[in-house]
Structure 1
Amino acid sequence: MSPQLLTLVIQLLLLFTPAPTTVTSHYNYNFTSTSPPSQSEWRPARATFYAASDPRDKVGGACGYGDLEKAGYGQATAGLSEILFERGQICGACFELRCVEDIRWCIPGTSIIVTVTNFCAPNYGFNPDGGGHCNPPNKHFVLPIEAFEKIAIWKAGNMPVQYRRIKCRKEGGIRFTIDGSDIFISALISNVAGAGDVVAVKIKGSRTGWLPMGRNWGQNWHINANLKNQPLSFEVTTSDGLTVTSYNVAPKNWNFGQTFEGKQFES
């Protein structure tokens, strides 16, 4: 076959070969990780703080954890800007932050580890460079002043930082706080080690099979089912694809408003 004829054949094959199809999820959630995020690369962002008198630690935030001290998160927490928050799916994930590029204000050789517990809403009355710290496309962390002062002097204000995703280390097991009424059951999933961010939850009574729960908001999951007077089991899956099953976490006589502890992911 002559070179000219071979070239023509290749061009015809390329012309009639169908292009690959890309399937996009309806939700912009990132499930690409195939192993626990033990340590990712450092990325640039900025960080500000809020004062100790701010009530947001008591009333909780967009992840639904409530009083962060009572929930066990303390001051090692962060609110994330819209581009990082992933509509709440990132709630419970852990990041390491360090101060960079400012010899005057950075505390050298230090870093902090924080759990995502809140959302920093954009303020479109300002542009991203003029006060809209959490506006897209800014990657921004809002920290309690107690956490901020571990890596920088408070006078620094809006500081350049670097961040990386790491595995969460938690004391005790996964916590399940049950709420609702009648046949509506809500479960707040907290204190999750490993990847930290929960992407799927199933619940099971002693008289049912496994029932998938839907994300209500943050890490609050819900289902319409009558599971009263049945011990409850939970199956929790995190963004790295790992699953932990806790059998009979809540006893038969459980009540709304109670918190129970199950098994834990490896950290």
Structure 2
Amino acid sequence: MPACLIQNLSLLLFTLVASTPRLLTTAHYSTSAPFPASSPNALSEWRSARATYYAAADPRDAVGGACGYGDLVKAGYGMATAGLSATLFERGRICGACFEVRCVEDLRWCIPGTSIIVTATNFCAPNYGFAADGGGHCNPPNSHFVLPIEAFEKIAIWKAGNMPIQYRRIKCRKEGGIRFTVDGSGIFMSVLISNVAGAGDVAEVKIKGSRTGWLPMGRNWGQNWHINTDLKNQPLAFELTGSDGVTLTSYNVAPQNWNYGQTFEGKQFES
């Protein structure tokens, strides 16, 4: 088993309410220059890293993460996820990005011709009690992925342990629309943004009520965004900008009678 410990930055789980109706929204897309790419879905070239794996003590456990998605299965991410070292995690700005990962350089353990696609959902904390080239797999400057064993075993034999890999950013493909889980109290509102296609990682969020203009939201942590404004009894619209500069606007995401603890669905980025 690898020594890397995945840090859970919060015990707060934002529940995706399955019974909440999905509301019709409208949207517009802005254009931006594409990333340099070697294929239509690639946002970056192949780069070198290493990967280890973890296995939950009980498969029924809800696996959370430092991006705030909570139960990854209920949130729709399943086991196609990854925890990233500090060098890659970018203090949570990378949350939601998608990567293609393949095993390389070790013919004993690699499963030839295979690759997996994973979403960044967690953080692999540094362990400064070990050297970066020893047990401190996630110490800077290492580029390191921690995968669920279910994902790891699709590209390598589990006995491999700490494996050399290659990875590249790709566009995310998601079923359905972007999900907005609204929480908070009083005038404090927190919105968890999940199931994002396209670039996957959200760089900027604005919110609008029927009695306000567009208001910028601040990144609380991961993909949790917050604002201190009374927006109760107003239908809500959201404007998201991905790390690729593409902007998507969804109107009437939440109805006038929305409540904290509910999840709503908006339009989706093109993938």
Provide the TM-score with structure 1 as the length reference: 0.85
Distance 2:45 2:231 in 1: 44
Q: Decide whether the 8 Å contact of 1:57 with 1:69 is kept in 2.
A: no
Tell me how far 1:57 sits from its aligned partner. 6.9
Tell me how far 1:34 sits from its aligned partner. 3.9
Tell me how far 1:41 sits from its aligned partner. 1.1
Provide the residue aligned with 2:6 in structure 1.
Answer: none
Provide the residue aligned with 1:12 in structure 2.
Answer: none
Structure-2 change in CA distance of 1:215 and 1:138 (3 Å): same
Provide the residue aligned with 1:35 in structure 2.
Answer: 34
Provide the residue aligned with 1:236 in structure 2.
Answer: 240
Distance 2:132 2:58 in 1: 24
Distance 1:229 1:159 in 2: 53
1:97 to 93, 101, 114: 101
**One-letter identity of the residue aligned with 2:205:** V
Q: Decide whether the 8 Å contact of 1:52 with 1:146 is kept in 2.
A: no
Distance 1:93 1:86 in 2: 11
Q: CA RMSD in A?
A: 1.5
Tell me how far 1:260 sits from its aligned partner. 0.4
Matched, 1:215 2:214: no
Tell me how far 1:61 sits from its aligned partner. 1.3
Q: What 5-or-longer segments of structure 1 have no aligned partner?
A: 1-32
Matched, 1:144 2:148: yes
Tell me how far 1:82 sits from its aligned partner. 0.4
Structure-2 change in CA distance of 1:250 and 1:113 (3 Å): same
1:192 to 192, 196, 208: 196
Aligned-partner SS, 1:90: coil
* 1:158-213 C-alpha deviation (Å, 9 max, x unpaired): 00000011000000000000000010000001000000000000001111111100
Aligned-partner SS, 1:58: coil
Q: Decide whether the 8 Å contact of 1:90 with 1:116 is kept in 2.
A: yes
Q: Decide whether the 8 Å contact of 1:57 with 1:68 is kept in 2.
A: no
Provide the residue aligned with 2:23 in structure 1.
Answer: none
Matched, 1:51 2:55: yes
Aligned-partner SS, 2:62: helix
Provide the residue aligned with 2:12 in structure 1.
Answer: none
**One-letter identity of the residue aligned with 1:205:** G
**One-letter identity of the residue aligned with 1:247:** Y
**One-letter identity of the residue aligned with 2:73:** E
Aligned residues: 235
Provide the residue aligned with 1:260 in structure 2.
Answer: 264
Structure-2 change in CA distance of 1:66 and 1:98 (3 Å): same
Structure-2 change in CA distance of 1:61 and 1:160 (3 Å): same
Provide the residue aligned with 2:72 in structure 1.
Answer: 68
Distance 2:192 2:145 in 1: 24
Q: Decide whether the 8 Å contact of 1:35 with 1:241 is kept in 2.
A: no
Provide the residue aligned with 2:124 in structure 1.
Answer: 120
Moved more, 53-62 or 242-251: 53-62
Matched, 1:181 2:180: no
Normalized per residue, the structure richer in helix is 1
Distance 1:55 1:217 in 2: 27
